[in-house]
């Protein structure tokens, strides 16, 4: 029999292999073929096997994968854990990103590397205020009042600590318990170095060994038992990791000591002390485990700092708003705001949701999302964003985006997603780690054999201690943390400066970009066009007629140029004519019927499409404006050229400086625009751009990107419109202006919130600093392991008499991981302007 099933939870080839190997072991299964892209498994079986049995096999195999009949799985809501009063989302991920962007619905440890899972942060869980009874916490209300059970006043419910913080507190508690029991073990063991050991006046050494054994039990079986669980799971699933080495190393030392106490006669004389008892290593096992636990505590503490950017954004999220209904003000929770609601924003308040100013004017501090400290003036019709801070004037706003649709929520979600993504450079660390653990185990075995054969007496003792030191010092934790920690901090740094990174691959590729393509309107220019002149051809139509037809046709368009003409028309008190049959022709213009007459508006290509010929005298009339960098649109009525409209769009103040800085970094900057040659030349001349192309349709921009890539260039494309979307998606790094269309932003890998070219400079600087930081981390981790393993194996002993104690190896291993994180955290203070 052959069946095809849907597999949920696969994110990489490692997942695919694991699922395939697990399912093929099920009794009765003959062949399993797993398709990662389709998320499907085709299973051949001797007889029908119930799907429950296949699911049980996947569950026992670890990894959190699920199997379903095709078409019967709902991705979104499956097993989601509700945390209504916490700061997290109930979504957890591995800090090492072992399985890419795979997430889990509950806390625990990663099935691949064993690290504690980290919880995402999200604005929606901080938004609502709830009230509870101090005596009866099960009573929860949305409004203040009294408890229905005891009558006490309800108090504001405090949000739970994040899962991250809870994990840190739990580890810290276990660490202090481990220290309390490890210190006396260490003191007892080290007393053997004292002449005339006073401890032996109290009782014999073998009795002290039993005390060490008793003291080690809470350390091994409570405080650090999770390490052995993870080691066992790693061997069972063959996902060998740092806990494999820790479990084997510390476990061998502890079990050897227990066996030596119970069966001392089994061991040769070189393993025994003068009193006849076997040398025990309870102190080595306890100290190693306690130091590794210390490393985990310090890492958990450091992880909270890597998410500091998201937490700072979360602090910006307001939880109350003032809604105006029938001229009456009422205070409501953020999650009660509906689209179209009118909200009052008072001086100093945070903007509750995204919207537009409906009445009044003010200045708003948008530094939390743009990184720019200067307040921005806002007036009627201007957009305002959630979490930004109002100045000293009150105004009314209309809610346009609420909940997860607000810019603040989207920024936080983008930072979360990017922090979980894998940079291509991480493949190096993954490849090394994949071979590293089994290689270390082999080196440990060889170390033991070499010391037994050629080592001094007691050879077996030296062999055991050095083999354990090799296992402990070689733990690849620092190697696994090197890339994701830098990415997480770097992405957060970018978000604080208005540079939103969609994934780690874009962050890495940005460092390699050598060619930047930029659009003109809305990218180089402000994207706030204004009408400067309306002209008519001949005597058939007056300038007023031309304007009337233009604004009537544009009343059906959402293009920024159309909005500019409508705004101008209203100022001129133009009467709008009836318009229908509207059609937008991408890269050319618009057409439709106005007052029953066939009308077209656009560039020369639009006039060709409308069969309206432009006389040379007409084109000469408008060239003066085009040479000044203005955009000119022609109007045709019933296939005859009727007139034109001149629209100016001021070049952004930061464009020239940004282009110069990018060129200084060796990046070739090319302008591609749908505008005519004269306009493009005027803008290029002002910006000192030698390379530009005019009259570019969306497919032309796409083909230009492909041509440059074919010539070996690494191309970034910056744009803001629907016509830029194909080229943004095709480029190596798509960069969208945050002031542009949603389609452009969706197609891009990087979004610049403020929407100016200086954001590209920031993105490039950020990429350079993150990649440099990653390489530093990889160097520290690889050099540390490369030097540490042979020293632990004892290569320096024949020359200098130097050996590395397993306890020192454990301390060095733990602090190496923390040093990688500390180096990553330096990015928080980096300057990317």
Please tell me which residue in 519, 678, 720, 732 is annotated as part of the active site: 519
Show the beta-strand stretches assigned E in 402-544.
499-501, 515-518, 530-536
Packing angle, helices 616-627 and 677-687, rounded to 10: 20
- For the residues of 399-441, what is the DSSP string, one character each? EEE-GGGSHHHHHHHHHHHHHHS--TTHHHHHHHHHHHHHHHH
Query: Residue 338, Cβ neighbours under 10 Å: how many?
Result: 10
Partners of 594 in beta bridges: 579, 597
Report strand pairing: 376-378 vs 362-365: antiparallel
- For the residues of 611-658, what is the DSSP string, one character each? T-PPPHHHHHHHHHHHHTT-EEEEEEETTEEEEEEEEE-PBPTTHHHH
Which of these, 634, 606, 638, 609, lies nearest to 622 by C-alpha position? 634
The answer to whether the CB of 318 falls within 8 A of the CB of 349 is yes
Sign for the pseudo-dihedral over CA of 654, 659, 661, 665: positive
- How many CA atoms lie less than 13 Å away from 475 in the CB half-sphere? 36
Residue 257 DSSP one-character state: H
The answer to whether the CB of 519 falls within 8 A of the CB of 721 is yes
Give the DSSP H or E segment for 773: helix 758-793
The answer to whether the CB of 375 falls within 8 A of the CB of 365 is yes
Residue 533, phi then psi, degrees to nearest 5: -160, 145
Residues 749 and 494: their CA atoms lie apart, in Å, by 13
User: Is 160 a catalytic site residue?
Assistant: no
Query: Residue 78, Cβ neighbours under 10 Å: how many?
Result: 11
Question: Is residue 706 packed enough to be buried (19+ CB in 10 Å), middle (13-18) or exposed (0-12)?
Answer: middle
Residues 486 and 502: their CA atoms lie apart, in Å, by 15
Which residues form the catalytic set?
A: 519
């Amino acid at each position: 029999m052959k069946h095809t099933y849907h597999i949920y939870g696969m994110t990489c080839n490692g997942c695919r292999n694991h699922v395939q190997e697990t399912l093929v072991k099920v009794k009765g299964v003959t062949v399993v073929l797993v398709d990662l892209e389709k998320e499907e498994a085709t299973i051949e079986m001797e007889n029908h096997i119930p799907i429950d049995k296949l699911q049980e096999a996947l569950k026992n195999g670890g990894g959190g994968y699920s199997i379903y009949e095709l078409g019967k799985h709902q991705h979104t809501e499956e097993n989601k854990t509700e945390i209504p009063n916490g700061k997290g989302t109930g979504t957890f991920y591995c800090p090492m990103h072992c399985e890419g962007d795979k997430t889990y619905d509950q806390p625990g440890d990663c099935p691949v590397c064993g690290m504690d899972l980290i919880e995402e942060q999200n604005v929606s869980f901080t938004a609502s205020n709830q009230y509870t009874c101090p005596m009866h916490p099960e009573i929860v209300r949305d409004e203040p009042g009294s408890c229905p059970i005891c009558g006490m006043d309800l108090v504001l419910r405090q949000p739970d600590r994040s899962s991250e913080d809870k994990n840190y507190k739990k580890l810290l508690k276990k660490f202090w318990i481990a220290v309390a029991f490890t210190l006396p073990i260490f003191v007892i063991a080290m007393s053997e170095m004292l002449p005339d050991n006073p401890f032996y006046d109290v009782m014999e050494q073998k009795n002290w060994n039993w005390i060490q054994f008793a003291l080690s039990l809470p350390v091994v079986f409570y405080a650090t038992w999770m390490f052995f669980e993870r080691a066992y799971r790693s061997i069972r699933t063959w996902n060998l990791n740092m806990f494999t080495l820790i479990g084997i190393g510390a476990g061998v030392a502890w079990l050897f000591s227990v066996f030596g106490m119970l069966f001392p006669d089994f061991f040769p004389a070189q393993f025994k002390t003068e009193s006849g008892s076997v040398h025990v290593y309870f102190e080595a096992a306890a100290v190693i485990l306690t130091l590794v636990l210390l490393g985990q505590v310090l890492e958990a503490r450091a992880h909270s700092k890597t998410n500091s950017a998201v937490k700072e954004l979360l602090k910006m999220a307001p939880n109350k708003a003032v809604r105006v209904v029938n001229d009456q003000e009422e205070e409501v929770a953020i999650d009660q705001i509906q689209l179209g609601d009118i909200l009052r924003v008072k001086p100093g308040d945070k903007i509750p949701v995204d919207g537009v100013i409906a009445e009044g004017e003010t200045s708003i501090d948008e530094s939390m999302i743009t990184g720019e400290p200067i307040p921005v003036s806002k007036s009627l019709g201007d957009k305002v964003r959630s979490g930004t801070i109002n100045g000293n004037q009150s105004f009314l706003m209309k809610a346009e985006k609420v909940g997860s649709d607000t810019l603040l929520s989207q920024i936080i979600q983008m930072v979360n997603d990017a922090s979980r993504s894998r940079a291509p450079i991480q493949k190096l660390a993954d490849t090394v780690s994949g071979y590293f653990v089994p290689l270390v185990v082999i080196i440990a075995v060889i170390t033991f054999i070499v010391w037994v054969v050629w080592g001094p007496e007691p050879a077996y003792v030296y062999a055991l201690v050095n083999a354990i030191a090799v296992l402990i010092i070689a733990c690849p934790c620092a190697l696994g943390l090197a890339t994701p920690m830098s990415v997480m901090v770097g992405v957060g740094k970018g978000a604080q400066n208005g540079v939103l990174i969609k994934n780690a691959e874009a962050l890495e590729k940005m460092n390699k970009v050598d060619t930047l393509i930029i659009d003109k309107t809305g990218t180089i220019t402000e994207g706030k066009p204004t009408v400067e002149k309306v002209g008519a051809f001949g005597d058939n139509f007056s300038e007023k007629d031309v304007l009337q037809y233009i604004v009537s046709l544009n009343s059906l368009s959402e293009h920024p140029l159309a909005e500019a003409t409508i705004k101008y028309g209203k100022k001129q008190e133009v009467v709008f004519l009836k318009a229908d049959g509207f059609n937008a022709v991408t890269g050319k213009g618009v057409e439709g019927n106005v007052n029953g007459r066939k009308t077209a508006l656009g560039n020369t290509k639009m006039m060709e499409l409308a069969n309206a010929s432009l006389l040379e005298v007409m084109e000469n009339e408008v060239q003066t404006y085009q040479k000044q960098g203005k955009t000119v649109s022609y109007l045709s009525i019933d296939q005859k050229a009727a007139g034109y409209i001149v629209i100016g769009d001021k070049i952004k103040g930061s464009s020239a400086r940004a282009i110069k800085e990018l060129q200084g970094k060796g990046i070739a900057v090319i302008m591609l625009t749908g505008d005519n040659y004269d306009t493009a030349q005027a803008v290029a001349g002002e910006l000192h751009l030698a390379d530009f192309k005019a009259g570019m349709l969306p497919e032309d921009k796409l083909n230009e990107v492909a041509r440059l890539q074919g010539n070996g260039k690494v191309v970034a494309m910056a744009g803001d419109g629907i016509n830029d979307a194909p080229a943004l998606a095709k480029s190596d790094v798509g960069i969208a202006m945050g002031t542009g269309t949603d389609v452009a932003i969706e197609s891009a890998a990087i979004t610049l919130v403020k929407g100016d070219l200086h954001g590209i400079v920031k993105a490039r600087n950020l990429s350079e600093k993150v990649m440099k930081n990653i390489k530093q981390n990889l160097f520290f981790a690889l050099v540390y392991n490369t030097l540490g393993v042979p020293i632990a194996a004892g290569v320096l002993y024949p020359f200098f008499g130097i050996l590395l104690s397993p306890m020192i190896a454990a301390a060095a291993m733990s602090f190496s991981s923390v040093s990688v994180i500390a180096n990553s955290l330096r990015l928080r203070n980096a300057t990317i302007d």
